[in-house]
Structure 1
Amino acid sequence: MVALIFLVSAPILNLVIPYSQAGGNFLMKFHPASWIALVLFLHILQFPAANRLDAHYRNAVFLFVFVCVLLGLQGKGAVMSSLIDVQITPAILLVALSRLPLEQARAAIALFVWIITLNVLLVALEFVLRTPILPREFVEVIFRPAGLFGHPINAGLLFCCAMLLLTRGAVGTFARRPLMLAFLGGTALCGVRGPLAIAAAIFIVNVIKPTLPRRSAIDYFLDFGVLFAVPIVVTIAYSVGAFDRILSLGVWEESSQSRLFIFDALDWLRSDEFWWGIDSYDRMEELTKSATGGRYIENSFVFITFAAGYPMALLASLSLTFLQAPALRRSLLFAMTFTLAAFATIAFTTKGSSSAGIALAGYWIWRLDYERKHRVQSSP
């Protein structure tokens, strides 16, 4: 499932079937990993919950299923298929991981990190060639690489998730430090301001006060050696034009401000559209561009409100928050990443891998805390 979710991304599926594009058979709107998740969950339901993590993630799955059933009854098939892929499938994956021994679960987490490492190389290649490897559905004035994941913001968010996992020991000590620097550089090449700020915060905090304590002189040498390498990497990135888009737009320009004022778009809805969503695709696209000054909505809550109505947006948001609540309480950096994804992107509502990466990061943060407390309680 991990390999399918992150290697068979939406742009790759679109080469074969109309996965995230308009038209096509309804059954083609589901990721292959979602079919595996369905069979896996039906199998898991035959057994009692193994631990608190298992029970929590099961309850989250049932909440998401309830939301999708309501969407199906309203005839919102497109929104329903998206939520199955980006919320139910990752939640089922977490149920399965919760039943594995810690080291087996760590292997799945490490697989995700190595796939994201592959994407660093693809992002660097795209940046050099100034052309996307996979077809895209949008055109930018200043090209930004994304690799496997279709959009630079998706790639940037996944780099942040991989960095969070590195701080929790997803891979060995010697690989951890260089990969942290590589993911930070990859985020810079993507030219995405929000994820770059989060990635920089994760990097700095990990050097100043790492989550995993330093146990030898070599750990200090590696950490501060990587820190000294940062100015070199930044200088190289600046010289090759990685910051051109950020410098040309600035930190707080119209695109950034649109995230803050996006809720004003709700005032454009009629009363029936506010409660039940917009039925016409053409009206939704026209209203979206009018309400945002020609831009698309980049807020998951507002996007679902437009598509399915305010009650469904509220219920879906509460379900998602419930899924990640344990991790949100345990890591401020994860909470920042989650908030950025929810309020500045549509990662939790459109087909892509970002939501699964965030789910894995939240799971691992809670899993390690759970294992630590369990060892303390069972220790003589």
Structure 2
Amino acid sequence: MARTMQQSDRENAIEIAFLFLTIVILMVRVFVPASVLNLLVNYTEEGGFFLVKFHLAAYAILAMLLLTLCTRPFVLMGADINLFRTLLRTAAMLTMVTAIAVIVSGFGATGFLIDTYLVATLAGLLLLTQRHHSRLIAAEAIIVFGVLSAVIGIGEMLMQQRLLPFDEGEPVFRPIGLAGHPLALGAHIVLTIGFVTLCRWPLWSRIAVTLLLFIGLAASGARLAMIAGAAEILLLLILSRWHGLSAQHEKLAKMMATLFVLVLGGGLLATLFFGGFLDRFNNTLVDDNFMARVRIYEVFRYVSWQDIFLGMDASDLHATTKANLDLNFIESAPVYIILTLGLPIALAFTVVVVSFFTRLLAGAPVQARIAAAVFVLVDLSNNGLATKNPDIILLTVLLVASRSLPAPISSKPRRSPQPRQPVLSTTSSSPARLSV
């Protein structure tokens, strides 16, 4: 008996250690931006060894995944098996797309393919090797740091001083929190708002955190993200299922809650406006930043058909954009992906990514679907989906964790017993021996 208890305690301690390491590695990848990493290596700067062009946490994610698969047997049941296969299949297809891109157009565009999208699938697999409650703990820890990033952003706005290095010229001060860029901060907050509603916290704390996040959204100066965030909150109120209420009572409660949010939101917006948090809304939305996102599509006039179909070096693309359009940045993910990968490979890459997230969202709660849709919409307004940032990794990890939430208790009686679920488990410490 004592021997069994000692073995159980040892296994529990190992599980906690692996969970802790997983959380730390994921947090480093999400909340240590390129500006900090550039202080150590030439991560996004010109020059440097090829291997340092990938985030240090990317190597840690791969190493941790291999260590977990080789040393800790795990069991997957039901929908988790399909998710496991989806992650593996997507990782394989992204690897193939990357290999083809290298053959056709060189290594120029492989940075964001590997460091963002491929690592996202590896992070999802790493989280999937944890137990369901461990996945939720990891997701809530990341969400807490997302809230902390928003709080830091509010403090930066008040102090007019950033915590982390930021070397891009800005006409007005905008905070970056732990995101590395004002637009990234806005996008991360938008995503966090949706997933806060899924946290296993008291209702009052989720409401207070959402209010705090909205203030952080205003502080970020990301105008589209703030507008989208306001719409997201209303969608979460209206489309989420309020369990424990009849259909009539739920409809009435949603109407009252929506009215309360609109009144509270109006007062909050007035306060933020007079506090200087909404200065970027003083002028028209059609400013230089907006026009830069529109004018970037004119770059197709200055490249050849060969560049469009076979891709071009990223440095050549930046030089063309600067010389002909006087734009320092390519604020469009579609433009960057097409012109660095080539149109055929870009289309194949898009199909792989859309298919992956379609499958990932299929088993996610409605709140996660709303958050993901708004998040992608915000990121499509800039180059957030075509750079070596953690946005796709953050979205993947939170979606994988959200699928581990227990199903809400239904008041309807069960008509028939559920069929026996398939099981995928490692039968030894080797990941190669799987039984279904």
Q: TM-score per shorter chain, which class?
A: 0.7 to 0.9
Bigger Cα displacement from structure 2, 343-352 vs 357-366: 357-366
The 1:310/1:372 distance shift into structure 2, 3 A limit, reads farther
1:362 aligns with 2:386: no
Count, aligned residues: 374
- Once the two structures are superposed, residues 8-60 of structure 1 have per-residue CA deviations (whole angstroms, 9 ceiling, x without a partner) of 22222112112121111111111122112223444577789931111111111
2:154·2:215 contact (CA, 8 Å) conserved in 1?
Answer: no
1:304 aligns with 2:337: yes
1:267 aligns with 2:305: no
1:157·1:195 contact (CA, 8 Å) conserved in 2?
Answer: yes
Q: Which amino acid aligns with 1:57?
A: L
Identical aligned residues as a percent: 20
Aligned to 1:22: 46
Separation of aligned partners in 1, 2:337 and 2:238: 39
Bigger Cα displacement from structure 2, 33-42 vs 110-119: 33-42
Aligned to 1:77: 107
- Once the two structures are superposed, residues 186-244 of structure 1 have per-residue CA deviations (whole angstroms, 9 ceiling, x without a partner) of 111111122112211121223345345477x9x99999877654334322321221111
Superposition deviation, residue 363 in structure 1: 3.1
Aligned to 2:430: none
Separation of aligned partners in 1, 2:65 and 2:92: 11
Structure 1: gaps spanning 5 or more residues:
none
Separation of aligned partners in 2, 1:170 and 1:77: 44
Structure 2: gaps spanning 5 or more residues:
1-24, 420-436
TM-score scaled by length of structure 2:
0.75
1:126·1:145 contact (CA, 8 Å) conserved in 2?
Answer: yes
1:298·1:344 contact (CA, 8 Å) conserved in 2?
Answer: yes
Separation of aligned partners in 2, 1:151 and 1:332: 23
2:235·2:370 contact (CA, 8 Å) conserved in 1?
Answer: no
After TM superposition, list the pairs within 5 Å mapping 1:275-314 onto structure 2.
275-279=309-313, 281=315, 283-289=316-322, 292=325, 294=327, 296-314=329-347
Aligned to 1:7: 31
Aligned to 1:235: 270
CA RMSD in angstroms, aligned pairs only: 3.3
Superposition deviation, residue 113 in structure 1: 0.7
1:347 aligns with 2:377: no
SS of residue matched to 2:170: coil
Aligned to 1:126: 156
The 1:371/1:311 distance shift into structure 2, 3 A limit, reads farther
After TM superposition, list the pairs within 5 Å mapping 1:180-259 onto structure 2.
180-211=210-241, 213=243, 229-248=264-283, 250-259=284-293
Question: Larger relative CO (CA 8 A, sep 6+): 1 or 2?
Answer: 2
- Once the two structures are superposed, residues 230-265 of structure 1 have per-residue CA deviations (whole angstroms, 9 ceiling, x without a partner) of 3343223212211112222x2344533544564443
After TM superposition, list the pairs within 5 Å mapping 1:33-52 onto structure 2.
33-42=57-66, 50=76, 51-52=81-82
TM-score scaled by length of structure 1:
0.85
Q: Which amino acid aligns with 1:193?
A: R
1:184·1:199 contact (CA, 8 Å) conserved in 2?
Answer: yes
Superposition deviation, residue 345 in structure 1: 1.9
1:126·1:133 contact (CA, 8 Å) conserved in 2?
Answer: yes
Bigger Cα displacement from structure 2, 142-151 vs 356-365: 356-365
- Once the two structures are superposed, residues 65-113 of structure 1 have per-residue CA deviations (whole angstroms, 9 ceiling, x without a partner) of 1122223334633421322121111211112223333221111110111
Q: Which amino acid aligns with 2:347?
A: L
Aligned to 2:373: 335
Separation of aligned partners in 2, 1:269 and 1:366: 44
Aligned to 1:152: 182
Which structure's CA Rg is the greater one? 2
